[in-house]
Chains A and B, each alone.
Chain A
Amino acid sequence: MSDVEVMIAPNVIEYPFRRTTGPVIGAFFTALREGFVVGVRGSDGRVIVPPAEYDPVTAEELTEIVEVGDAGEVVSWAWVAESLDGHPFDRPFAFALVKLDGADTPMLHAVDVAAAEQMRTGMRVAARWRPARPGADDEVAEGVRYREGHIADIECFVPEGDR
């Protein structure tokens, strides 16, 4: 039986899940769809972005949704030399923790620069937004991804001067 050539076939398993957000995380995605970013104020006054449902110190429910800026500072980053399926780009880019203006915690997102040499901790970056969904009577452009209430509504961050 050792003379048998073993067969190999491609296999794809796909689950089209949707996840319910609840009101706090829902507010974050609603704001993204509307083209801005919100966090939540914690018991110690810090603004947590993306918002947490429960206070990281006291575990109390958090309720005060706060708007923050859509630009901020790279706190740390990693260069992705070879992008994989599901990554935001099919070219090299950086994943970065970005502390948005007015926020006290950093948020993970992609930074679109051509080379790792253009990345540094402390650099200023700004969100590059996808376009707002056109109204019912407006023309829909072919192949354009509109904002829908998803983290990818921010296509990526770019160096602040490049926006």
Chain B
Amino acid sequence: MPELVLPDRLRGVEPVRSIRTPARLDYEFTAGRATSRFLRGVAEKRLLGQRCPVCRKVYVPPRGACPTDGVPTEEEVELGHTGTVTTFCVVNVQFYGQAMELPYVSALILLDGSDLPIMHLLQEVSADDVHMGMRVEAVWVPDDEIEPTLESIRYFRPNGEPDAPWDSYKDNV
């Protein structure tokens, strides 16, 4: 790189090497009808999915239509509060805005009765012991703190059941 020719006043001062360029998106999230029903269910400690009339898959949280068949998913299905870890990520790296102590485990959990895993936090288990097929259960916030958000489930934890067989979740990894 060629040398810069600087005016006297810039010689011998500490150069600026980077500048702040924050990006901020401030907007309103509209849940849509299907997800609104789901979130109102969460506020009652119920997990409600929707089944596709063509492929019979149960989606949670529901978006109101099947992405494969392109048809409305009108049949509502109540799901259990237990599920199976399909895949997971052990987070060891600090990042901006992070509220959790390291390391923690973020997992995709296939709720019993559903065909699409949700992402949530795993706790009460060492990161080293988390594995695919692990059976887990939802731990809810106290009843008077429940709101229409998935954060009303504080985390999932192992429920002590034997691991789920691979065939029960192999289509979801």
Seen from chain A, the residues whose Cβ lies within 8 Å of a Cβ on chain B are 1-2, 4-21, 23-24, 26-27, 29-31, 33-34, 36, 38, 61, 63-67, 85-86, 149-150
Q: How large is the interface on B (under 10, 10 to 19, 20 to 34, 35 or more residues)?
A: 35 or more
A16 to B19, CA, bound (A): 11
Inter-chain contact B15/A19, CB cutoff 8 Å:
no
Q: Does B119 contact A (CB under 8 A)?
A: no
Interface class of chain A by DSSP: mixed
- Residues A12 and B13 in contact in the complex (CB < 8 Å), given A4-B36, A61-B1, A65-B7: no
Q: Is the CB of B9 within 8 A of A67?
A: yes
The CA-CA distance from A34 to B11 in the complex, in Å, is 11
B20 touches A18 (CB 8 A): yes
Q: Is the CB of A34 within 8 A of B10?
A: yes
- In the complex, A12→B5 CA distance in Å? 44
Binding site for A on B (CB under 8 A): 1-7, 9-10, 13-37, 39-40, 64, 74, 96-97, 148
* B-chain residues with CB within 8 Å of residue A14 when the two chains form the complex: 22-25, 97
| Given known contacts A7-B148, A30-B10, A17 and B4 CB-to-CB distance under 8 angstroms | no
Q: Which residues of B contact A2 (CB under 8 A)?
A: 33
By a CB distance below 8 angstroms, the chain B residues around A13 are: 24-25
Q: How far is the CB of A77 from chain B (nearest CB, A)?
A: 25
What are 11 A-to-B residue pairs whose CB atoms are below 8 Å?
Answer: A4-B40, A8-B31, A9-B29, A9-B31, A11-B25, A13-B25, A14-B25, A27-B10, A29-B19, A33-B16, A86-B24
A67-B7 contact in complex given A1-B34, A6-B33, C-beta closer than 8 Å: yes
- Bound together, the chains give a CA A12 to CA B24 distance in angstroms of 7
**A70: shortest Cβ distance to chain B, in Å?**
13
Are A66 and B17 in touch, CB under 8 angstroms? no
With a cutoff of 8 Å between Cβ atoms, the chain A residues found around residue B10 in the complex are 27, 30-31, 34, 38, 65
- The answer to whether A19 touches B21, judged by C-beta atoms less than 8 angstroms apart, is yes
Q: Are A12 and B26 in contact (CB-based, < 8 A)? A: yes
With A34-B9, A36-B9 as given contacts, are A4 and B37 in contact (CB-CB < 8 Å)? yes
